[in-house]
Amino acid sequence: MEFEDLDLKNDWKRLMYFFIRTTGKKPTTNTLLFLIGVNELGKGKKAFSKEEKQDLMHIATCKLLSQSGFYEWEGLDSDGWPHYKALKAIPKLNLEEQEDFLKLQMIEYFEEHILEEREREKTSKNISKLKPIMKPRETNTDSQTDSE
């Protein structure tokens, strides 16, 4: 499965700019999974245990894969946590393809924000000078963990 669509890179940048502008940080894919999971849980901001954070990331993954028909919403359990059921097998992908596929699903999930970034680019007179309002900190985000 090839993901050569140029919009993937551009839309991913747009998504990163959105989060940099709104939070001041460039998120990792794990951070985005955590945020999607919290959003899907719908219980607002609270402290989560390590196990709950893993569960939230699993919920996010299921939600994202449901957009492509791999999972289906089943309902909430007695504690109000979402559950999904697998509908079909996920194709075998190498690591890079998995990451690109997940990015495409995240772009779809955050589509409204991507569209806002596209409009922002269109209304900018000089795209080369288009910068996020806040720049990310100079840290290696790949080694950060989701301890938020």
2-36 CB burial, b ≥16 within 10 A, e <16: eeeeeeeeebbebbbbbbbbeeebbbeebbbbbbb
Cα–Cα separations (whole angstroms), residue 71 to 68, 87, 96, 105, 144: 8, 5, 22, 13, 29
Q: Which residue has the higher pLDDT, 130 or 113?
A: 113
Which pTM does this prediction carry? Answer: 0.74
Strands (E) across the chain are located at 71-76, 82-86
Decide if 19 contacts 12 (C-beta within 8 A). no
Residue found by looking up tokens 């000078």 in the block: 129
Each residue of 99-127: pLDDT tens digit?
999 999 999 999 877 777 777 777 776 55
Strand partners, 76: 82
Query: What is the per-residue pLDDT for 141?
Result: 44
| Domain boundaries defined on the chain | 6-128
b (16+ CB within 10 A) / e for 50-86: eeebebbbebbbbbbbbeeebbeeeeeeeeebbebee
Specify which of 90-94, 123-127, 139-143 reaches the highest per-range mean pLDDT.
90-94
The partner residues of 83 in beta bridges, in order of sequence, read 75
Q: Which residues, 6+ apart, have CB-to-CB distance to 141 below 8 Å? A: 26, 27, 28
Share of the chain above pLDDT 70, in %: 79
pLDDT number for residue 113: 73
What is the pLDDT averaged over residues 23-52? 92
Distance of CA 8 to the CA centre of its chain: 13
- Residue 128's pLDDT is 53
